[in-house]
């Protein structure tokens, strides 16, 4: 009788082990499929063209002003900004106010070159913004977004981000 009970115990344990092995196999298949999907996604991202093309000229500093001349911009077919002309003097505090949806954030996004504006509509010291290298331009800007996001970490780490 001992050999029969041992065989039953062995088969029970063997069955439980097989279930675990099959579960591991399913997890492994999902893992492999996830990497395939991630690889395809990364390939798609790498093939994206940048929304903004950087210019060849290094930006040194702003001496006179940032100005817009007849700036019209739309995300789709409806213009968000229409024939905007303004001058923001260098080294002066400027406040941009308006109703919700009036295009304040869009204007700032265009100045920061998060989006490309039409040629000859946005100028830095009288020169079209498109001629400047984006990295050198953005390195001269401090930007605080409307929506504050704090990360788990020190104040210094949040500010440096």
Residue 56, C-beta contacts closer than 8 angstroms, at least 6 positions apart: 131, 133
Give the model's pLDDT for residue 161.
Answer: 67
Please state whether the predicted TM-score (pTM) of the whole model is above 0.85: no
The answer to whether residue 145 scores a pLDDT higher than 80 is: no
Q: What is the domain partition of the chain in residue ranges?
A: 1-48, 55-161
Quick check: 35 and 117 in contact, CB under 8 A? no
Give the model's pLDDT for residue 10.
Answer: 79
Give the model's pLDDT for residue 2.
Answer: 66
Give the model's pLDDT for residue 121.
Answer: 94
CA dist 32 and 86 (Å) reads: 55
Q: Pick from 30, 69, 49, 61: which is nearest to 139 by CA? A: 61
Rg of the chain over Cα atoms, rounded to whole angstroms, equals 29
Question: CATH fold of 55-161, please?
Answer: Rossmann fold (3.40.50)
Give the model's pLDDT for residue 77.
Answer: 85
The pLDDT tens digits of the residues spanning 123-143 come to: 999 999 999 999 999 888 887
pLDDT band at 63 (very low <50, low <70, confident <90, very high): very high
Give the model's pLDDT for residue 130.
Answer: 94
CA dist 106 and 64 (Å) reads: 22
């Amino acid at each position: 009788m001992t050999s029969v009970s041992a065989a039953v115990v062995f088969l029970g344990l063997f069955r439980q082990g097989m279930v675990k092995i099959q579960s591991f196999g399913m997890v492994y298949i999902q893992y492999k499929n996830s990497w395939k999907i991630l690889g395809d996604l990364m390939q798609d991202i790498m093939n994206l063209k940048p929304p903004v093309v950087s210019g060849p000229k290094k930006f040194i500093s702003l001496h006179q002003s940032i100005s817009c001349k007849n700036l019209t911009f739309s995300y789709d077919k409806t213009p968000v900004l229409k024939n905007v002309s303004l001058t923001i003097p260098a080294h002066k505090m400027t406040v941009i106010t308006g109703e919700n949806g009036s295009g304040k954030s869009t204007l700032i996004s265009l100045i920061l070159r998060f989006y490309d504006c039409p040629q000859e509509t946005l100028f830095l010291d009288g020169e079209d913004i498109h001629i400047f290298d984006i990295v050198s331009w953005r390195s001269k800007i401090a930007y605080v977004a409307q929506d504050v996001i704090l990360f788990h970490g020190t104040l210094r780490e949040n500010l440096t981000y």
